[in-house]
């Protein structure tokens, strides 16, 4: 079936063309939505065809490579504009185009009446295209194009309401958009360094050997550097692969919103809700996890870097889960939840549980998209109310939304037998049994308990108890907003079959690419699963019981959570995202701004311009005044000086040739 290989070019090109067509040709909401949705849907179909082609190939050579042109070629530095479609890419592409298409369909209804639908749908398509390019690139530099491309699209979509003063809960869209881009750029800068270090030591930026360009692949060479160090002068030395891994980790922290670069994601909800679904589920934040999995050869040979990855992931999982437990904004709970769940994935891939990390990435993509889209349905029904203190008792008014939300919440909480249970359990089991790292496992179990708690709390606050505000007109979504929710709810419910213990579809599909030994199942793991589930059920019930039954009457719009009374500063700290925003503002942003003003006014204005330029100018004019006989006028003065120079030159020439 090799004659169908060209189909992989359609996958990113269709949404790209869709974006261009929507921006240039579409007039009106309907046309824009239709073009964009069709492009995304066709891209999904193309992905299915490509997966089928891949399926017909022998497992060990199951990849499609295609180089369109040589992008950069300077001496030894060669970069292709080429795609690589292997089994790992296939999994990512299916998620991106599949969930991405559903979000497009949902947006048809959600964005009705928007003032700039053409831009919205074009950017949505562009987002999908950039993410596809990211996962399909056959080298790091092209991957970086997609990497920055999703950064740009997040900027555009978070800033969709760029002319609003603020959106709930008090975020300025224009600032949130800029913040997302600039914070990401910090990670990107480190990623750039990683690429350069890889090229300088391994002589290539291609993942695999590239026959068209004649470049070697750096991944297969990475292991050679396992014991090679970089000298850091007075700072000592560090292993090359460790350095590469740590630099990449900083990039991952930016894109996948891990601590300490996680601050942009909670504000990213300033965009329309489908955008949040896209950022949190299908595109953007999963890029960091993908990057580590793609570079698994580097990370498995760099244990120090890998252990940092695990640490960052686990700490993020717990701290972000605690933050999620304290929020009152509907979408902010989900935003912190995403950071926390990404922490699970990052920890998993850091431990070498690549298949488990990818599994969780997939199931999370399904249930988080479901939760955000259901949250969008809620926001629509309640006419832009996002504050959970103004909800309550909504399950009678919105039975459909309640049911799908519950499926998503249970899946996220890791309750048997929904999707999240299987994938989360696999990560925890890997941490305890395979990686033999009980500390990490315990942190992850604790995070699972908190996760269940905050989902229980959220469901209770929204759907149970007494209605704290009248929402008589609230109704469930129809049409294009309804059936994507159904599809995703089914996926969130049964997504676990992808990698059931003993069946291992995903693991064995990825095995040729990742060369990761299949997880062995034991009684110990089953016991562990039962314990973890019991803890999750307990946490979830506690959260639901507290907020639906105990403190139900004490929840008042505009007032703090009753738990603050008992937990005090810990609760407050969690609520504020552990003060990172505050810290960055005080420690970096403000000093930077003030120093900038100081540099501009005093150093540049007074010292450099005043002394250096002014001084040189005065000296020079004084010198020139002595010899010139031309009246005032700056241009004339310049001309005079110029002529003087020519005269001096001619004199010098004469003097030399006469000699």
Partner 1 sequence: MNQIGFPLVSLAIALPALGALLVWLTPASQTRVARGFAMLSALGALATAVALVARFDASQAGYQLVDSVAWVAAWGLSYTVSVDGISLWLVVLTTLLTPVSLMASWNAGGAHPRLQQALLLLLAGAMTGVFVAQDMLLFYVFFELTLVPTALLIGIWGGDDRRRAAQTFLVYTFAGSVVMLVGIVGLYQAHGVQTGIYTFDLATVLASLQLGAVQLPLETERMLFAAFLIAFAVKLPLWPFHSWLTTAHTAAPSSGVVDIAGMVIKIGAYGLIRFNVQLFPQAAAWAAPAIGVLAVIGVLYGGWIAFGQRDMKRILAFATVSHLGLIVLGIFALNPQGLSGALLQMISSGITTGALFLIVGMLAARRDSRDVQHFGGIWGQAPFLGSIALVMVLASIGLPGLSGFIGEFTIMLGAWISPVLGWTYVSIAVIGVVLAAAYLLRMFRLVFMGPPREAGAPLRDANTLESLMLGVLLVPTLVIGLYPNALLLMMEPSVQQIAQQIGQTLASR
Binders of partner 1 among 128-187, rule CB under 8 A? 141, 144-145, 148-149, 152, 155, 159, 162-165, 172-175, 177-178, 181-182, 185-186
Candidates 64-72, 263-271, 309-317, 434-442; binding stretch for partner 1 (CB under 8 A): 64-72
- Position 648 contacts partner 1 (CB under 8 A): yes
Site residues for partner 1, 71-130, by CB under 8 A, read 71-75, 77, 81, 116
Residues making up the chain, counted from first to last: 659
Closer of 105 and 198 to partner 1 (Cβ): 198
Position among 399, 469, 642, 647 found at the interface with partner 1 (CB under 8 A): 642
Closer of 166 and 508 to partner 1 (Cβ): 166
Which residues, 6 or more positions from 644, have their beta carbon under 8 angstroms from its beta carbon?
Answer: 624, 627, 628
- Position 490 contacts partner 1 (CB under 8 A): no
- Position 9 contacts partner 1 (CB under 8 A): no
Q: Running DSSP on this structure, what letter comes out for residue 65?
A: E
Closer of 2 and 76 to partner 1 (Cβ): 76
- Please state the closest distance from residue 113 (CB atom) to partner 1, in A: 16
- Position 450 contacts partner 1 (CB under 8 A): no
Q: Running DSSP on this structure, what letter comes out for residue 23?
A: H
- Position 24 contacts partner 1 (CB under 8 A): no
Beta pairing, strands 229-231 & 77-86 = unpaired
> Considering all CA atoms of the chain, what is the largest pairwise distance in Å, rounded to the nearest integer?
107
Site residues for partner 1, 574-613, by CB under 8 A, read 592-593, 595-597, 599-600, 604, 608-609, 612-613
3-state SS string over 325-356? HCCCEHHHHHHHHHHHHHHHHHHHHHCCCHHH
- Position 362 contacts partner 1 (CB under 8 A): no
d(CA 215, CA 76): 9
Closer of 4 and 654 to partner 1 (Cβ): 654
Closer of 110 and 155 to partner 1 (Cβ): 155
- Please state the closest distance from residue 148 (CB atom) to partner 1, in A: 5
d(CA 294, CA 349): 10
- Please state the closest distance from residue 107 (CB atom) to partner 1, in A: 20
3-state SS string over 215-263? ECCHHHHHHHHCCCEEECHHHCEEEHHHHHHHHHHHHHHHHCCCCCCCC
- Please state the closest distance from residue 634 (CB atom) to partner 1, in A: 5
d(CA 633, CA 399): 83
Closer of 98 and 187 to partner 1 (Cβ): 187
d(CA 514, CA 306): 16
Candidates 324-332, 486-494, 509-517, 642-650; binding stretch for partner 1 (CB under 8 A): 642-650
Closer of 290 and 463 to partner 1 (Cβ): 290
The pair of three-digit structure tokens given for residue 103, joined into one six-digit string:
């979000």
Candidates 190-198, 351-359, 521-529, 550-558; binding stretch for partner 1 (CB under 8 A): 190-198
d(CA 262, CA 468): 33
Nearest to 356 by CA among 511, 242, 202, 542: 511
C-alpha distances (whole Å) from 216 to each of 77, 290, 385 are 11, 22, 55
Closer of 228 and 653 to partner 1 (Cβ): 653
Closer of 531 and 652 to partner 1 (Cβ): 652
Closer of 572 and 637 to partner 1 (Cβ): 637
Cβ count within 10 A of residue 251: 27
- Please state the closest distance from residue 542 (CB atom) to partner 1, in A: 43
Enumerate the β-bridge partners of residue 231. 237
Which residues, 6 or more positions from 77, have their beta carbon under 8 angstroms from its beta carbon?
Answer: 199
- Please state the closest distance from residue 111 (CB atom) to partner 1, in A: 17
- Position 557 contacts partner 1 (CB under 8 A): no
- Position 237 contacts partner 1 (CB under 8 A): no
Closer of 189 and 226 to partner 1 (Cβ): 189
Q: What is the DSSP string of 258-302?
A: -TTSTTHHHHGGGS-HHHHHIIIIISTTHHHHHHHHHTHHHHHT-
- Please state the closest distance from residue 273 (CB atom) to partner 1, in A: 20
Closer of 48 and 640 to partner 1 (Cβ): 640
How many binding residues for partner 1 (CB under 8 A)? Answer: 72
- Position 638 contacts partner 1 (CB under 8 A): yes
> Is-contact 147 283, C-beta < 8 A?
no
**569 CA to centre of own chain:** 30
- Please state the closest distance from residue 171 (CB atom) to partner 1, in A: 13
Position among 4, 25, 52, 200 found at the interface with partner 1 (CB under 8 A): 200
- Please state the closest distance from residue 532 (CB atom) to partner 1, in A: 40
- Position 238 contacts partner 1 (CB under 8 A): no
- Position 396 contacts partner 1 (CB under 8 A): no
Candidates 29-37, 266-274, 521-529, 640-648; binding stretch for partner 1 (CB under 8 A): 640-648
Beta pairing, strands 237-239 & 229-231 = antiparallel
Site residues for partner 1, 299-328, by CB under 8 A, read none
d(CA 128, CA 114): 21
- Please state the closest distance from residue 186 (CB atom) to partner 1, in A: 5
- Position 621 contacts partner 1 (CB under 8 A): yes
- Please state the closest distance from residue 80 (CB atom) to partner 1, in A: 11
Closer of 164 and 549 to partner 1 (Cβ): 164
The pair of three-digit structure tokens given for residue 583, joined into one six-digit string:
């810290």
- Position 549 contacts partner 1 (CB under 8 A): no
- Asked if the peptide bond before residue 135 counts as cis, ω within 30 degrees of 0, the response is no
Nearest to 280 by CA among 368, 356, 359: 368
- Position 224 contacts partner 1 (CB under 8 A): no
d(CA 634, CA 365): 68
Position among 193, 442, 487, 490 found at the interface with partner 1 (CB under 8 A): 193
The H-or-E segment that residue 71 falls in is: strand 63-74
Which residues, 6 or more positions from 445, have their beta carbon under 8 angstroms from its beta carbon?
Answer: 428, 532, 535
Write down the number of H helices and E strands in the chain. Answer: 27, 4
């Amino acid at each position: 079936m090799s004659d169908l290989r060209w189909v992989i070019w359609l996958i990113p090109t269709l949404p790209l063309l869709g974006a261009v067509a929507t921006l240039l040709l579409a007039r009106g909401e309907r046309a824009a939505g239709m073009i964009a949705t069709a492009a995304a849907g066709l891209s999904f179909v193309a992905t299915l065809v490509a997966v089928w082609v891949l399926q017909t190939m022998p497992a060990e050579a199951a990849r499609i490579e295609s180089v369109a042109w040589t992008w950069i070629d300077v001496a030894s530095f060669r970069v292709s504009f080429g795609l690589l479609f292997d089994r790992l890419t296939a999994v990512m592409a299916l998620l991106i185009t599949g969930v991405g298409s559903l979000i497009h369909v949902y947006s048809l209804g959600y964005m009705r009446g928007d003032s700039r639908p053409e831009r919205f749908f074009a950017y949505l398509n562009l987002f999908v295209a950039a993410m596809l390019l990211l996962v399909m690139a056959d080298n790091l530099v092209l991957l970086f194009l997609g990497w920055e491309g999703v950064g740009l699209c997040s900027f555009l979509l978070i800033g969709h309401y760029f002319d609003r003063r603020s959106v709930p809960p008090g975020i300025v869209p224009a600032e949130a958009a800029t913040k997302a881009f600039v914070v990401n750029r910090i990670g990107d800068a480190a990623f750039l360094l990683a690429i350069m270090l890889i090229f300088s030591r391994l002589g290539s930026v291609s993942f695999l050997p590239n026959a068209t360009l004649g470049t070697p692949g750096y991944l297969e060479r990475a292991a050679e550097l396992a014991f090679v160090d970089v000298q850091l002068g007075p700072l000592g030395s560090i292993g090359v692969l460790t350095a590469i891994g740590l630099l990449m980790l900083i990039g991952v922290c930016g894109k996948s919103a891990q601590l300490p670069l996680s601050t942009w994601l909670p504000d990213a909800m300033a965009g329309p809700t489908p955008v949040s679904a896209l950022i949190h589920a299908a595109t953007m934040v999963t890029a960091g996890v993908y990057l580590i999995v793609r570079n698994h050869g580097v990370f498995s040979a760099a244990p120090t870097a890998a252990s940092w990855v695990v640490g960052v992931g686990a700490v993020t999982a717990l701290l972000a889960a605690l933050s999620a437990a304290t929020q009152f904004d509907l979408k902010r709970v989900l935003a912190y939840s995403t950071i926390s769940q990404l922490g699970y994935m990052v920890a998993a891939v850091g431990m070498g549980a690549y298949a488990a990390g990818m599994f969780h990435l997939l199931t999370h993509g399904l249930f988080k998209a479901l939760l955000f889209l259901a949250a969008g349905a809620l926001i629509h029904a309640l006419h832009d109310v996002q504050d959970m203190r103004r909800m309550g008792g909504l399950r009678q008014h919105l039975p459909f939304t309640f049911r799908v939300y519950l499926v998503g919440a249970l899946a996220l909480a890791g309750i048997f037998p929904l999707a999240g249970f299987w994938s989360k359990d696999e990560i925890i089991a890997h941490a305890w049994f395979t990686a033999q790292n009980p500390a990490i496992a315990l942190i992850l179990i604790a995070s699972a308990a908190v996760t269940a708690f905050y989902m229980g709390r959220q469901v209770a606050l929204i759907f149970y108890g007494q209605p704290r505000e009248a929402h008589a007109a609230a109704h469930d979504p129809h049409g294009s907003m309804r059936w994507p929710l159904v599809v995703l709810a089914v996926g969130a419910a049964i997504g676990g079959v992808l990698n059931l213990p003993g069946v291992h579809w995903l693991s064995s599909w990825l095995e040729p690419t990742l060369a990761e030994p299949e997880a062995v199942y034991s009684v110990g793991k089953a016991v562990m699963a039962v314990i973890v589930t019991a803890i999750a059920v307990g946490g979830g019930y506690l959260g639901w019981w507290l907020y639906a039954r105990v403190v139900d009457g004490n929840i008042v719009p505009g007032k703090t959570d009753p738990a603050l009374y008992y937990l005090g500063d810990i609760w407050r700290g969690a609520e504020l995202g552990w003060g990172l925003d505050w810290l960055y503002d005080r420690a970096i942003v403000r000093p930077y701004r003030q120093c900038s003003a100081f540099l501009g006014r005093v150093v540049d204005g007074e010292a450099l311009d005043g002394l250096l330029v002014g001084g040189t100018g005065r000296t020079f004019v004084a010198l020139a005044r002595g010899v010139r006989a031309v009246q005032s006028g700056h241009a004339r003065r310049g001309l005079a000086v110029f002529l003087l120079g020519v005269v001096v030159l001619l004199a010098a020439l004469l003097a030399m040739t006469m000699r």
